[in-house]
Structures are given as structure tokens and as C-alpha cells.
Amino acid sequence: MPDPHGSLPAPETDPAFLDSALAAADAVGFVAVGNRFDDGLRYLTRFSGPDRNYAFVYADGEAILCAPALFTEQAEREFAGTVRTTDVGDPTGIRAANTLSDLGASSGTVLVPQSIPHDAAVHLEQAGYDLESTTAVADARLIKTESEIDCLRRVQRAAVRGMRRAEEILAAAEPMDDELIWQDAPLSTERLRRQVNAELAVYGVRDAGNTVIGAGPTCADLHYTGMDVLRPDETILLDISPRGPHGYYGDLSRTYVVDSNGGWERRAYVAVEAALKAGLAEIEPGAHANEIHREAAAELTAHGFDPNADEGEAGFTHGTGHGVGISLHEGPSLREPVELESGMVFTVEPGVYDPEQGGVRLEELVVVTEDGYETLHEYPRSFTPRAD
Amino acid sequence: MPDPHGSLPAPETDPAFLDSALAAADAVGFVAVGNRFDDGLRYLTRFSGPDRNYAFVYADGEAILCAPALFTEQAEREFAGTVRTTDVGDPTGIRAANTLSDLGASSGTVLVPQSIPHDAAVHLEQAGYDLESTTAVADARLIKTESEIDCLRRVQRAAVRGMRRAEEILAAAEPMDDELIWQDAPLSTERLRRQVNAELAVYGVRDAGNTVIGAGPTCADLHYTGMDVLRPDETILLDISPRGPHGYYGDLSRTYVVDSNGGWERRAYVAVEAALKAGLAEIEPGAHANEIHREAAAELTAHGFDPNADEGEAGFTHGTGHGVGISLHEGPSLREPVELESGMVFTVEPGVYDPEQGGVRLEELVVVTEDGYETLHEYPRSFTPRAD
């Protein structure tokens, strides 16, 4: 069957990575329960699933998906292991317990993610299992395979197209009476966002509600998605994080100023770009993730910005980056002293904000390689929007 | 601040609806924990939230949102109650327990949704509370307010625009060598889906991964999102379920055949439209939801289709409808003998499928009114795609 994303195959997850966690805990099996919004479950099963709960069970080297009603065909198409339909309709925790038992694991310790739904946990306990939580899935997700990196590159290509569309519109917009006019009407964050999201859709990915555009002061509000008129000589901050092939996310941020008179915007842009470069320069296997944050923050300090501001204050109000994969936010965090390894994928995204002035953030998505890092997209940075 | 969806205000949820559940269980408070994908939590808080867990706590008549780090401004903008930031960084279950205690509820029974994350449940239990699950939130969501119905009408208007775009493209497509050609290239389900999703984006709503398009045999696969070439004389089934203002979903399905020779497709279409009308005719306050299903199924039987087929078999393979609101699938289910009340919103969507032939489904979204029902959109049904 042809794939909607061209020749890009779904990444595969070999559940045998769970064996060492099971052995270490002397556990008889692993169970995860959740719905389509549980990214750990999607990583384990590649099943894009429904909005109701289903279960993944692993024991004795065998992986079983307890398929939800009406989703058997989709589960069989997407999941590489066995799809179980015998007790469709029973609560998911009970189905998981039945499955463990059928696999010969009728009692003992079962490993689960710590946020497994409470009702499923209670059903497993009532069936005689002791539950112990594990971070094995999150740990495995830290290192991306070539196939996962291909998915990330592909969705990042869509993010680039969305950003190009925005930059092109901003370059064509004309200042008039302290507003930016595009195609004979004032340009707002919402109008620009719709254009970006339409471009993402045409390219076959979803905006996933993650296209954040701030204008002037609202740039300082990290998750602003309201409707402001865009103005000349103000920062316009775009953070585009679409979800693409097989559920992998892209992430790309740029900040532009149309008709700048210099001032705070220019000074902030120079500082953030220097911080970005300083952070990127730290990336190599064996380095620690928090060194990237430290170097970026030091650069911002050198440019006169507070590197430890609280949200709503002037300065750098967030961390320098986060892992990206089948979740938009996953490990590693660049606040933690995690040792970098080849195959880790994360953002580097310093920013400075001033509720009175605006906000500047620049973000690149990188993968750690054997001898440094590779950026997962090609897109120039520019303070002034480029027409082409 | 201007709203991204024009003048449409966010619906409000008065948490006092929880009081009767608390009194009935002699409970001291209610706690929900989840992330942006937990629709019950979104209903309670109107906070569009992050992809990590946060908590809603209600006790002694007061509602508190334990805001996640970096989301304080957004939480204060969206949540009508008190936003708590004192213990940001502690596990969400511990923050919820602290909050209960600060509200004077230092021990006793606490009501929770049954799928509360297990780690949060354990933290609450360790803090000395007894947990009891409640369906109070799902029950409250069954009856929509005028403000919620406005959101549903608005997103349904976007679904109509997406469907119009698809129908227009299908009307313009030309059969050639057993394929449909549009703008000089073969039209596929994926190509058509991208056009529909771009239209949704321009209208300011998200496809949310829910634009399902089947062609011929893949229409029988209820959640197919692959890439098939569209052909003349085959069913083309579109199910468009975008997410719009304040998180409310639309839902609309149509089935078209280009250049039909009659046969199975025409016969199935006539049966499904008759079933739809028979189902709709049952809707009024005091009727039971499963009567809609029964009448629709009876009509399909009369037309010679199996009303109880399993997925992958020929016939009617699913229920006749489901509630729609801040979740795409919620109560009431049209399989259950729920008594219909004014303000309930649900789909009516009979369908027949044949893995050898194709599939036909027609879907309308309705609200029960004082004296019958109202369809939440205006969109004609047609077997042959209409140019305008």
C-alpha cells in the first residue's frame, strides 16, 4: 500500500529493549495503557489509535496490542506484533491482565509507565500483579534511529515551508498608519497563522495547534495564540511545530522586524543569535546538555540581559531547549547534565523577552552526530524578512 | 483582547455542578489531573494547556488550577478560578494534595475521574485521602449550553467549507483510463485530503488528523488515511471532523461517486440516506438514543443490508452515532437507551460497507431541541458531486 508520505517507512520499535528493565526488576511483563494521545504507547506500537484507551502488553518476548473495538484493521495494518480482539469490550486493565496470564505470566511484578491510568492499574493489582513504574520507554526514546531522524527531517522540511510562507508575506507587507497591510487588509497574528497552517496542510502535515505567533509585547507570552495586528518596528515571533509522518514533530522559530528603527529589537536579536551560536558550539558526544544552556545564558548576560528572569519579567525566561521526537517535548532537557550521545535530537532556542518591548527567539533543531551535530533543516536566519 | 474566532466567547463551566456529587459521596473535594489532551480537564478549566500534567482542584466551593511551569500567563488568561504557582515543580499529585489541604480538606474522600494518572492517585492516597471515582464531569458534558452550541455551529461551518472544497474538486475531476484527473494529475485520497485540510486551516480551525477519505474498497476501513488513486464509478467517502473554537469538534460525512454506472454504489446510497432520515425522525426529548440506531438499522435491513456486520464484513459495521463536544467522541452513544434531552449534541451516521465494493456513509450533526432537533450545519446531500 502506498504511504501517504512518499517512500518514508514507519520507524520500527523492537520491544526487546524492555528485557533489561524486566530482568533488573525481576518482572514478568510490561503493560502500557492509553489512547492516541499517549506518545509512549505510539512509540511502542506505531498504532495511531483512537481517542479511547487500549493496551500494549509485553511478556515472554511477545508483544500484544489489545485492540479497541472498530480499530482492528487499523491496528493490524500499523502494529508489527499480535493484535488481540478476543475480549474487546472489557475494561482495558482487565484485558491487559488476561493477556499477561495467557502469555504465562499469571503473577509477579509488572512494569508500567508511572502515568498509567489509575483504573487500569487497579485492575492489574486486583488480578494479582504488583506494579512497579519504569522509565525504560522514555529512556529508549532518547536515542533516535536513522528511520526516526528521516521522519524528523521530513516534517522539518514542512516547517521550513510554513516559515518561508510567513517570511514572504511579511516581506510583502507595507507599513501604513502604524499597521502592516497585506493584500489590502491589516495583517494580524491570526491571519498570518492561517496562511502558515494552510501551507503546512498542503504539504501534508498538521499544525497540531502549535503555530505560535506573537507580535510586540505578546511575544513575551510564550504560548500566545491570540489575534493582534502586526506593526512596523515591532518583533514578530513565529514558532512552528507541526506533526508529520508517523507522528514525529518539527520545531523551528524565527523572529522578524519589518521597518526596524534599531533599538531594543535589534539589540535583543544580536544577543539571541550570539547565544544560539554559543549554545550550538557546545554540541558533541560526551558534552553535557546543560553546558549548552550555560553558554547561551552567559552570552545573553554579556549582552546585558537577565539570564534567569521569571515568566512575565524582562530577560531569558525559559530553558535553552528540549528533546523532540514522537512528542514535541521529550528528553533530553538542556537544563539537566545529561551526557550527549549520537542520535539525540533537540532544539536550541534561546530567547529574550520584555513585556514592554517584545520578544526575540531563534530556534534550530539538531541531531548529535559522531563528531558534532547536524541541523535537521536548512533555513537562513534574518532580522528583516526576505522576499525570496 | 480580540478573540481569534471573532466574537465567540469561551464557554464557561461553573464547577458548582460538582457539589451534588461531592454531597452524595460525602467527599471533601474533587481532583482531576492530566495534560492538554484530557478533554474533561479542558471542560473544567477552559485551559488549553501544555503537553505535561497539571491539576484542577475543587473544594469548599473554590476552584484552583495548579499551573504548570512556563504556563502561568496562559492559565491566568484562560481559567476563571485561582491559578496556583506556589509549588510549581513538585509532582502534580502532591500539588493537588497540598491544595486540598490549603482549602481546609486535609483528609477524607476525594472524587477523581477513573482514568486519573496512577502516580497522581498514589500521591493523593499517600497524603491520606481515600479516592472514589466519579462520572460527574462526563455527565455534565452531556447537555450543551448555548455558548457550547455556538462553538459547535462555528466549527461545523468550517467542516462545511472543507466538504465544499472536496465536492468542487470532485465535480471538476475528469475520468481518464480508470482514474480521476484533477489539474493535470491523478487525484488521490491524500491529495484531496491536503486540499480539504488547507481549506480548514484558512478558515482558522485544525484538521486534528481527523480528515478521513476512503476510495472504493478502503471506504470499508473506518479509519483509513492512506493514499489511493480515486476512480470513476467508485465510492469516495469523506469524514471531516475538525477541532475549532475553544476546542469543540465538528463532524460531517458525505459519500460521492463520479461517473456512476448505478450498481452497488447507488443501491447502498439510497439505503443509507433512507436510514439517515429514519434515524433523524426519531429525535425528540424523551425518546431513547438507541431507538435512532434501531430505526436506521431496520431501514438498512429493509434495503437488503446486514445491520449487524463485523468490521471487515459486508453491511452496517458500526453504531449510528455518538455525542460530540469538547471531545470528538463522547456521550450519548446511540447504542444505549439514554433518554434524549434538549441540549444533547450527537451525530447520526449510518453506513454500509462491502470490502469488495466500497462504502457509503452519510453523517449529520444535530442538537436536541425542545420540540425535536436542529441540524448544526446546512449542507445538501448529493450522490454526484455538485460543481457549485
Residues of chain A with pLDDT under 70: 1-7
Q: Give yes or no on whether B15-141 and B146-375 have one common fold.
A: no
Asked whether the predicted pLDDT for residue B3 surpasses 50, the reply is no
Largest CA distance in chain A: 75
Q: What's the confidence (pLDDT) of residue B4? A: 41
As its CATH architecture, domain B146-375 has Alpha-Beta Complex (3.90)
Query: Residue with C-alpha cell 502469555?
Result: A103
A85: CB partners within 8 A, 6+ apart: A67, A72
Q: Does A61 touch chain B (CB under 8 A)?
A: no
Beta carbons of A194 and B206 less than 8 Å apart: no
Beta carbons of A201 and B194 less than 8 Å apart: yes
- B7-64, pLDDT tens digit by residue? 688 999 999 999 999 999 999 999 999 999 999 999 999 999 889 999 999 999 999 9
**How far does A115 lie from chain B, in Å, by closest CA?**
5
Q: Does A116 touch chain B (CB under 8 A)?
A: yes
d(CA B352, CA B265): 10
Beta carbons of B195 and A203 less than 8 Å apart: no
The CATH number of A15-141, from 3.40.50.300, 3.30.450.20, 3.40.350.10, 3.60.21.10, is 3.40.350.10
Chain A residue nearest residue B190, CA to CA:
A4
Coil vs helix vs strand at A166: helix
Parallel/antiparallel/unpaired status of strands A108-112 and A27-34: parallel
Interface of B with A in 191-230 (CB under 8 A): 194-195, 197-204, 206-209, 221-228
Mean pLDDT of B104-111: 96
Q: What's the confidence (pLDDT) of residue B311? A: 81
Q: What's the confidence (pLDDT) of residue B6? A: 57
Per the CB < 8 A criterion, the answer to whether B267 and B303 are in contact is yes
Beta carbons of B133 and A112 less than 8 Å apart: no
Coil vs helix vs strand at B269: helix
Beta carbons of B133 and A115 less than 8 Å apart: no
- B216-236, pLDDT tens digit by residue? 988 887 777 778 999 999 999
First-residue to last-residue Cα distance in chain A: 37
d(CA B320, CA B279): 8
Per the CB < 8 A criterion, the answer to whether A232 and A187 are in contact is no
A8: CB partners within 8 A, 6+ apart: A150, A151, A154, A245, A246
Asked whether the predicted pLDDT for residue B295 surpasses 70, the reply is yes
Q: Does B320 touch chain A (CB under 8 A)?
A: no
Per the CB < 8 A criterion, the answer to whether B31 and B12 are in contact is no
Beta carbons of A131 and B119 less than 8 Å apart: no
**Chain A positions in Cβ-Cβ contact with residue B318 (cut-off 8 Å):** 70
Beta carbons of B228 and A116 less than 8 Å apart: no
Asked whether the predicted pLDDT for residue B2 surpasses 50, the reply is no
Q: Does B335 touch chain A (CB under 8 A)?
A: no
pLDDT averaged over chain B?
A: 95
Chain A residue nearest residue B197, CA to CA:
A201
- Structural element, H or E, at residue B302: helix B289-302
**Chain B positions in Cβ-Cβ contact with residue A207 (cut-off 8 Å):** 201, 206
Nearest to A222 among B70, B120, B317 (CB): B70
Interface of A with B in 242-281 (CB under 8 A): 243
Nearest to B115 among A71, A119, A208 (CB): A119
Q: Does A386 touch chain B (CB under 8 A)?
A: no
d(CA B76, CA A216): 20
Nearest to A226 among B2, B35, B70 (CB): B2
d(CA B227, CA A51): 23
Nearest to B249 by CA among B335, B339, B363: B363
DSSP codes joined into one string, B47-116:
----SS-EEEEEETTEEEEEPPTT-HHHHHHH-SSEEE-TTTTS-HHHHHHHHHHHTT--SEEEEE-TT-
**Chain A positions in Cβ-Cβ contact with residue B190 (cut-off 8 Å):** 4, 204
Mutate to test the interface with B, among A72, A79, A115, A200 (most CBs of B within 10 A): A115
Asked whether the predicted pLDDT for residue B101 surpasses 70, the reply is yes
Asked whether the predicted pLDDT for residue B278 surpasses 90, the reply is yes
Q: What's the confidence (pLDDT) of residue B221? A: 79
Beta carbons of B70 and A209 less than 8 Å apart: no
**How far does A318 lie from chain B, in Å, by closest CA?**
7
B16: CB partners within 8 A, 6+ apart: B61
**Chain A positions in Cβ-Cβ contact with residue B197 (cut-off 8 Å):** 201-202, 206
Q: Does A317 touch chain B (CB under 8 A)?
A: yes
Secondary structure letter of residue B6 according to DSSP: B
- B342-368, pLDDT tens digit by residue? 999 999 999 999 999 999 999 999 999
Nearest to B222 among A70, A194, A197 (CB): A70
User: How many CA atoms are closer than 13 Å to the CA of B350, on its beta-carbon side?
Assistant: 30
Q: Does A124 touch chain B (CB under 8 A)?
A: no
**Chain B positions in Cβ-Cβ contact with residue A200 (cut-off 8 Å):** 201
Q: Which three cell numbers stand for residue A144?
A: 533516535
What are phi and psi for residue B349, nearest 5 degrees? -150, 65
Q: Does A114 touch chain B (CB under 8 A)?
A: yes
Mutate to test the interface with A, among B52, B115, B196, B239 (most CBs of A within 10 A): B115
Which ipTM was obtained for this model?
A: 0.92
Q: Does A320 touch chain B (CB under 8 A)?
A: no
Beta carbons of A114 and B119 less than 8 Å apart: yes
Interface of A with B in 344-383 (CB under 8 A): none
DSSP codes joined into one string, A69-109:
TT-HHHHHHH-SSEEE-TTTTS-HHHHHHHHHHHTT--SEE
Q: What's the confidence (pLDDT) of residue B254? A: 98
Nearest to B15 by CA among B58, B46, B60, B48: B58
d(CA A251, CA A26): 39
Domain ranges of chain A: 15-141, 146-375
| Cβ–Cβ pairs < 8 A, chains A and B | 147
Nearest to B81 by CA among B99, B94, B98: B99
Chain A residue nearest residue B78, CA to CA:
A224
Q: Which residues of A335-360 are buried (b: 16+ CB within 10 A; e: fewer)?
A: beebebebbbbbbbbbbbbbbebbbb
Interface of B with A in 1-60 (CB under 8 A): 1-4, 35, 37, 48, 50-53
Asked whether the predicted pLDDT for residue B138 surpasses 70, the reply is yes
Interface of B with A in 287-316 (CB under 8 A): 311-312
